[in-house]
């Protein structure tokens, strides 16, 4: 699914900007299409250059300037480009017919109307889908929310089930977070969540995804990672967080720690099992003193933990 691929490659603000660009371009292209219709109805001046060169209209400049491979290589994006080119080619043919004969063939005009309506509908659908995705980001941290993360990890589970890869899940919880809210107030707690979210996002590998799973809890998807590799990434995150100072009030900084639970998706089990196993490993980390990484696997009756 295109939207889930974009989520993995782009941040909240980039996705929001993409949806805004598409919506604006739809309006711009509709205005141009109206000008084409007015040439025949109101006998306005012929507009050959823009009809012939589909790369130079506003949509064409945007479309052929896209650099994100997740977008460029998608079937949806390719089909929209084909429709866009077809709209311009048909518009050019209609202008030529009108100039030669003073009239446009009914069949060509009908085909043009169908293609232009399909083009506009598909661009609007893509813009809506992308814009709707932005609503599934956590409003505070701008990380994917729980529902959106579900799309990401379901895709990874599907790959694992088909034997096309592996994926580890990591559940993390900020240690003693309630004490921050109690001592400094909820606005300070919000600042802590925002800073830690940014730290996690900036510290991950390019293909990893972190979401706000709820409250002060975060869920990570680590594709193509073994249990051991995900443990190593989590341990690096844990150690780095120990060094992070967060300003919660003027002149007041705090340092926090987090506990981590790691599991790996199993092709023989449902996704809920992997999430549950990561949660059990996190509980183990909490019960053993916090600020540690614990792993869960079928070969272990209890989680392995490493503390500071």
From CA 193, how far away is CA 188, in angstroms rounded?
9
CA angle in degrees (0–180, nearest 5) for 36-37-38: 90
Active site residues: 216
Closest to 305 in 3D by CA, of 235, 229, 203: 235
Instruction: Tell me the angle at which helices 106-134 and 2-9 cross, rounded to the nearest 10 degrees.
Output: 50
φ, ψ for residue 298, nearest 5 deg:
-60, -20
From CA 29, how far away is CA 63, in angstroms rounded?
12
Going by C-beta distance under 8 Å and a sequence separation of 6 or more, which residues neighbour residue 248?
180, 184, 188, 191, 192, 254
**217-223/209-214 β-pairing:** antiparallel
Q: Kind and range of the H or E element at 305?
A: strand 304-307
Q: Kind and range of the H or E element at 19?
A: helix 12-42
List strands edge to edge, sheet with 304-307. Answer: 209-214, 217-223, 167-174, 258-264, 292-295, 304-307
> DSSP state, 102?
S
From CA 3, how far away is CA 15, in angstroms rounded?
9
Tokens at 45, concatenated = 């001046």
**292-295/258-264 β-pairing:** parallel
């Amino acid at each position: 699914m295109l939207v889930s691929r974009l989520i993995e490659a782009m941040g909240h603000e980039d996705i929001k900007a993409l949806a805004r660009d598409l919506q604006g371009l739809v309006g711009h292209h509709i205005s141009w299409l109206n000008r084409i219709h007015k040439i025949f109805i109101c006998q306005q001046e012929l507009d050959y250059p823009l009809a012939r060169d589909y790369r130079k209209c506003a949509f064409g400049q945007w479309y052929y300037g896209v650099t994100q491979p997740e977008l460029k290589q998608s079937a949806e994006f390719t089909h929209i480009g084909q429709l866009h080119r077809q709209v311009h080619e048909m518009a050019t043919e209609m202008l030529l017919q009108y100039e030669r004969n003073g009239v446009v063939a009914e069949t060509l005009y009908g085909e043009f109307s169908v293609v232009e309506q399909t083009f506009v509908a598909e661009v609007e659908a893509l813009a809506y889908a992308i814009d709707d995705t932005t609503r599934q980001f956590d409003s505070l941290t701008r990380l994917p929310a729980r529902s959106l993360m579900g799309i990401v990890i379901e895709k990874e589970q599907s790959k694992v089930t088909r034997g096309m890869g592996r994926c580890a899940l990591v559940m993390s919880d900020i240690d003693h977070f309630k004490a921050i809210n109690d001592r400094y107030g909820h606005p300070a707690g919000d600042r802590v969540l925002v800073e830690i979210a940014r730290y996690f996002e900036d510290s991950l590998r390019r293909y990893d995804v972190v979401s706000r799973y709820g409250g002060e809890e975060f869920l990570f998807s680590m594709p193509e990672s073994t249990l051991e590799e995900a443990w190593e990434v989590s341990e690096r995150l844990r150690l780095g967080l120990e060094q992070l100072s967060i300003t919660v009030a003027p002149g007041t900084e705090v340092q926090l720690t987090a506990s981590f639970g790691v599991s790996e998706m199993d092709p023989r089990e449902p996704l809920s099992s992997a999430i549950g196993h990561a949660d059990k490993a996190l509980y183990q980390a909490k019960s053993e003193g916090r600020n540690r990484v614990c792993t869960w696997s079928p070969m272990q009756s209890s989680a392995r933990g490493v503390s500071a």
